Amino acid sequence: MSKVDLRITPSRSVLPASSEPQLLYALIELSAQSGATKMPRLPLNLCLVIDRSSSMRGERLQQVKQAAMQILDLLGDHESFALVTFNDRAEVVVSAQLARARAEIKRQISAIEAAGGTEMATGLALGVQELQRAMMPRAVHRLLLLTDGRTYGDESRCVEIARRAQARGIGITALGIGSEWNEDLLETIAARENSRTHYITSASEITKIFTAEVERMHNLFAQDVHVRIALPQQALVRSLDRVRPFIGPLPVIEETDFVWTAALGDWPESDTQALLLEIVVPPLPVGRHTLLRMSLRFRTPGSDSAIQSHEQTLPVVFRDPNEVSDNVDPTVKHWLERLVAYRLQASAWQAAEEGKLEEATRRLQMAGTRLFEAGQVELARTVQEEATRLLRSGQASTEGRKRIKYGTRGLIGREEQS
């Protein structure tokens, strides 16, 4: 049986007894327990979908080729590999096949050249087609997309293709390099469980990030991970966000009265999962009350056994208001500041698009303050610089916007690996 460390830390362990509802945050931390039984390695069915438009010429394409060959060396002989390229049209460079034909596959990879424009949808469609050709039971199916430019006129089709793939169990990692790609499109494509997007700041990082993603898929601790949160009557879940390994909202569904569920997808063993839950606590009298009952449910990779479950409760003491301090747990405060900074910058860009530049600037400045308080000094300075640029010129730099957006999520450069 897989073992999990499950810890719930409230923002305040003592609350004032009140006749009014009040807010409480709970940090939910999940980690594979040290010494847990080694999980079987599931075979990987992988397809790379690579932008080879003219802007990829030079070091970028060379690094992509090197990364693809290194990934090939990481795969076992009975794992599947495919590679699709796209510019003005899409082409299957390596059709889905067992990775053991390495020499011939590397020859095909080395022949890729950059030219033309960027039309992503057909490339995605061919990539999904290759993955479906190699579908096998008890495997991990992954599409790794990399682009450095904006696709034109086919954005909605890109999202439709991604959704069909995700519904069939294909996870998508969408990677953007440089400053010209459409981060809103990639984030929409990756806005499902088992999918994510990442900002690559320089070509030299391509190989590291590609190989790290494959290693994550090779080391799954659990699959089909779900959390179930039961609250007292009249309590309410206001939001649930993942804060580790990266920040992003998690859709929650009220399954029955006062019981909410959320899907986390697959869980690589190297990832510590942390969620920040915001709940509305109903009026409660002096005493000790259980505010949260949480269960974690998942399958062991490669196993048809019953769903495993781990449970934890959160008791909180209620006292006379005169006996209660306002101190917030420092770990919860740290992640709350990071989450608020992420939300503030997201709302700032929305305000900027609506022409509300003063409001956008104010929100960016507030995000910068939160990041300083969370110890993210370099990122906070970038936020303040872009706030000043936005107020003076009416627009932020494309690179600055991406650094802020992905920096606040923890999905930029080396920061995610820390």
* Spatial distance between the Cα atoms of 345 and 334, rounded to a whole number of angstroms: 17
pLDDT greater than 90 at residue 282: yes
Question: Which are the contacts of 380, defined by CB distance < 8 A and separation ≥ 6?
Answer: 368, 369, 371, 372
- 124-138 pLDDT, tens digit per residue, is 999 999 999 999 888
Pull the structure tokens for residue 72. 């090939």
Q: What is the arithmetic mean of pLDDT over 374-387?
A: 93
- 34-83 pLDDT, tens digit per residue, is 555 566 788 999 999 999 999 999 999 999 999 999 999 999 999 999 99
In the β-sheet with 308-319, what is the strand arrangement from edge to edge? 14-16, 308-319, 287-299, 220-230, 259-268, 253-256
Question: Which are the contacts of 29, defined by CB distance < 8 A and separation ≥ 6?
Answer: 5, 6, 7, 8, 9, 244, 272, 273, 274
Pull the structure tokens for residue 88. 């003005």
* Spatial distance between the Cα atoms of 183 and 205, rounded to a whole number of angstroms: 18
* Spatial distance between the Cα atoms of 270 and 373, rounded to a whole number of angstroms: 28
* Spatial distance between the Cα atoms of 281 and 155, rounded to a whole number of angstroms: 42
> H/E element holding 348?
helix 330-353
Position 307 scores a pLDDT of 82
pLDDT greater than 60 at residue 102: yes
Contact 146, 68 (CB under 8 A): no
* Beta-strand pair 196-200/170-177: parallel
- Buried b / exposed e along 215-226 (16+ C-beta atoms within 10 A): ebbbbbbbbebb
Q: What is the arithmetic mean of pLDDT over 24-29?
A: 97
* Spatial distance between the Cα atoms of 302 and 300, rounded to a whole number of angstroms: 6
Contact 372, 378 (CB under 8 A): no
Contact 161, 124 (CB under 8 A): yes
Closest CA to 384 of 371, 375, 402: 371
- 242-277 pLDDT, tens digit per residue, is 999 999 999 999 999 999 999 999 999 888 899 999
* Residue 170 phi, psi (nearest 5): -95, 120
Closest CA to 156 of 133, 135, 184: 184
Whole-structure pTM value: 0.89
